[in-house]
Structure 1
């Protein structure tokens, strides 16, 4: 191998092959080319004619881009990329590096291009050169910026190929915003008017207002009005149908039309409202018959859930606005046809849920209190294993008291044991397991911060049952007033809607 091989770049000294690119002869060295490029390594070590020829013509190769690749093969330095080359020129170099299998340079260019240019130029060029890694990266950036398509003029620099690609994505923004961005692009690119009908088919016109449809004809007509009318009728007809998928989550590719989806370095995703708005909206992308929604809250918050077919009329199916909720939420409601789900926090805060939201039609029997929208459980809603740490699957957690060898305790005359349900239920029976003869009383919170005493007993042990009028319940406080030791011990806690359910 040559020493100081950089000095041999485009030098005839000891050259044993001439590369011909676009009619230009470039002196080169087989050993250096073979070391830096798998393409040339294969060429010069095979039975191909080029292996023995002194002149090798490289057809359909960009001369300037190839010189950069060749320079890198000889130089192996990254500074060749910082010579004022444009975004498009770097893509030409990347395409050339990939073709000639100079993998280190390809990786370097991909990393460089991720931080250059705009979202639209990145996607346009990545699609044109079929660079999958950059297409994926550009798509992630686009999804993050989707609510601001118009403000950031993202459509402005897209090629027709890129427009078609973007319109097929489940963009995390309203259909009307995508439509307005598309109309702006069409008016600036009338030369591609033959493509407009196909582009418009990707927009659900049934979700738009009349003022949006009028944008296609005002101030001038940019697409055939009869085509638009026919397409609108087709979309409206499709919107009247729905699917009934039994016992399966219908959300496969989560799309938000209000709010954003954040991807964290850990790989976790969250759906978050955009401050100052205190809600986000999920688009199921078609109508389904539903009776259950599941998600995990990342804050302690009261909230409501609204559903809609078209984002015009909204119906409240869950009202947890008066309760402190956290963690896993399993919400049942009377079956109805739904396309859009809106989860709204009570307070004006930016809040989030994990992105594994589920929307289902379950065949399990359930009962919901019509006046409160709360579930009337048919079984115990408190985990058997006592825990002071909340998990994504737990229905609640002990927030006060001391966990001691799988049971809870507190000092007599100093403290209490509190269990917080992750969501409110309609409850009428609470059961306690005491290992020693003790005295105690129970208080519950039916709404925020309002404790009500519902039961007390003296000098009892074993399983104790407190029954009371069924009512909303989200928090239980147990206070021991007497015990053989300085601690009151609780070995079991269960909650039911009725006494019958506990048997």
Structure 2
């Protein structure tokens, strides 16, 4: 007798039992039942419902029936409370402190519904809920609320939001508030909320170079704060030290600062002495900070006050249609000739970019100075001993700047120095700089970085710099020179501190090469850094870092013919690619390197 199956009741004569068939049913129908929305609705329906409630939360006499499992799933704080071995895990009633019923009710609703409408709350209530979100460790919601606060900053609320961010050590929100206050310092100091800041949070504001307002006004605002906070007397001296008395006019010091008796007499006398004896550039200015924003712009009040055709560098140009006569210029070598820019206001800068006209092979040497008063100048870039061309990317220690001037000291082609474009800004992520020269991390011998091959023979002018290392043969993809006659020279657009070079020698057969590598800052005086002997394919060389503009590779011998072939050059060498090199060389300047096999290849 066969085993009973309920399906037999529905089976017609001749019908196949699906349990014994490979035929699948209902190919074209939805094969999944999704009832998520019903689940969400039912969980939401448990909000403030005593049904199945296993805990009552009490906030200032207000009672909230709730469910330990739901709260624990939504918050690590409640998970630890109810299932972490604490006594509340067994209690039917739990009293919550340091919150208001209104704020807790809103957050409790979020636990059950998954929604929280920010725009329905006024700022005080929003910040109460925000404090609970932080306390209960709801990170995703906290991040969303921080973003909302960032876009809600106004003069009258930024100090309140900053205080909250400072209290909870929310660095990103705190920095957003600080940057907003930097831009609106005068107006922010006139708000009541500014007077409610804690001493420590106020200290962080006043110590910033970018909190830019008249120093006398900063002192007067701090005076009001001190009178409003006698309980923080331990902070008064520290805060007063942030006042830069040297930036307050002498008559204002005598009439407005000294009578308050807040400043020690010695400090007042020192400030007066510094105003008389110190250089203007050493007075510790405050300035506006606009990260990654070019401040040389007519819309920001920039003016070119020295140089021919001053408007030239203030207008965007198409390099393909560049008219040299419309560029800003000055005569090279003429006494007192500069290109000078006056910014609309004092800015904190650490980067200047110049686009020097380089249609031909002209090279320039120059220096750049900055000033706050147009009289006392500080040199921030000195490339008077280097030959440069094209786009210049120049970093220097950040400082407050109102005026920028450039003087060209040498030109190889023309008596005029031309600039087609100029930028100045503050870059938060600046590279390492040594004696005004960038220490690059990535390869700068590239077309994108405006490097050029100025000596050498190739079917493609810059084949050596295009980054293609897997598409070369007997006729294409390399640069060469005849042994005993000539060399290959690469020119970087500006000096860089270079301590390594990586080469790909042409290796379509087993030939080997002998060659030297020399470097120079002016294409006249060269220093030999590498002496390569019997080498092939990929090679990486390390030597004492030094400023480099020109790299000259001279072939000495080739085991196959009378031509030296080079496929690729890179400087500095990318350490991640060094393992591809057949050999690595370590060299001291003016000494031959010791060649050794790279550790990764010793067993090959």
TM range (shorter): 0.5 to 0.7
**Residues in 2 aligned to 1:197 and 1:316: alpha-carbon distance in whole angstroms:** 35
Q: TM-score, normalised by structure 1?
A: 0.55
Between stretches 346-355 and 17-26, larger displacement belongs to 346-355
Q: Secondary structure at the match of 1:297?
A: strand
- The 3 A distance-change label for structure 1 pair 57 and 145 is closer
Match of 2:57?
A: 19
**Residues in 2 aligned to 1:398 and 1:57: alpha-carbon distance in whole angstroms:** 77
- The 3 A distance-change label for structure 1 pair 107 and 30 is same
What whole-Å deviation, never above 9, does each CA across 1:2-40 have from its counterpart, x for those lacking one? 961322322233322211111222222222222222222
Match of 1:203?
A: 243
- Answering whether residue 35 of structure 2 is matched by residue 9 of structure 1, we say no
**Alignment RMSD (CA, Å):** 5.3
Contact 2:165 2:173 in 1 (8 A): no
Contact 1:306 1:314 in 2 (8 A): yes
Q: Secondary structure at the match of 1:351?
A: strand
Number of matched residues?
Answer: 365
**Residues in 2 aligned to 1:341 and 1:180: alpha-carbon distance in whole angstroms:** 21
For residue 326 of structure 1, the aligned residue among 378, 391, 397 is: 391
The structure number with the bigger radius of gyration is 2
1:190-229 equivalence runs, <5 A = 190-192=227-229, 197-214=237-254, 216-217=256-257, 221=259, 223-224=260-261, 227-229=263-265
Task: Give the C-alpha shift of residue 149 in structure 1.
Answer: 2.1
Contact 2:356 2:389 in 1 (8 A): yes
Match of 1:260?
A: 289
For residue 297 of structure 1, the aligned residue among 353, 361, 367 is: 353
Match of 1:287?
A: none
Q: Secondary structure at the match of 1:127?
A: helix
**Residues in 1 aligned to 2:65 and 2:388: alpha-carbon distance in whole angstroms:** 78
**Residues in 1 aligned to 2:369 and 2:256: alpha-carbon distance in whole angstroms:** 32
**Residues in 1 aligned to 2:378 and 2:444: alpha-carbon distance in whole angstroms:** 37
**Residues in 1 aligned to 2:444 and 2:49: alpha-carbon distance in whole angstroms:** 77
Between stretches 31-40 and 115-124, larger displacement belongs to 115-124
Contact 1:307 1:342 in 2 (8 A): yes
Match of 2:461?
A: 402
What whole-Å deviation, never above 9, does each CA across 1:452-481 have from its counterpart, x for those lacking one? xxxxxxxxxxxxxxxxxxxxxx99xxxxxx
What whole-Å deviation, never above 9, does each CA across 1:27-75 have from its counterpart, x for those lacking one? 2222222222222222222443322222111122222111111111111
Match of 2:545?
A: none
For residue 314 of structure 1, the aligned residue among 337, 362, 377 is: 377
1:141-180 equivalence runs, <5 A = 141-143=177-179, 146=182, 148-150=184-186, 152-153=187-188, 156=191, 157-158=193-194, 159-161=196-198, 162-168=201-207, 170-172=208-210, 177=214, 179-180=216-217
Q: TM-score, normalised by structure 2?
A: 0.47
Task: Give the C-alpha shift of residue 228 in structure 1.
Answer: 4.6
Q: Secondary structure at the match of 1:422?
A: strand
Contact 2:371 2:403 in 1 (8 A): no
- Indicate the structure with greater strand content: 1
What whole-Å deviation, never above 9, does each CA across 1:191-231 have from its counterpart, x for those lacking one? 2375654422112323443255357349xx5x316x25322
Match of 1:250?
A: none
What whole-Å deviation, never above 9, does each CA across 1:385-411 have from its counterpart, x for those lacking one? 9754326xxxx54599822445499xx
For residue 220 of structure 2, the aligned residue among 175, 178, 183 is: 183
**Residues in 1 aligned to 2:444 and 2:492: alpha-carbon distance in whole angstroms:** 14
Contact 2:75 2:137 in 1 (8 A): yes
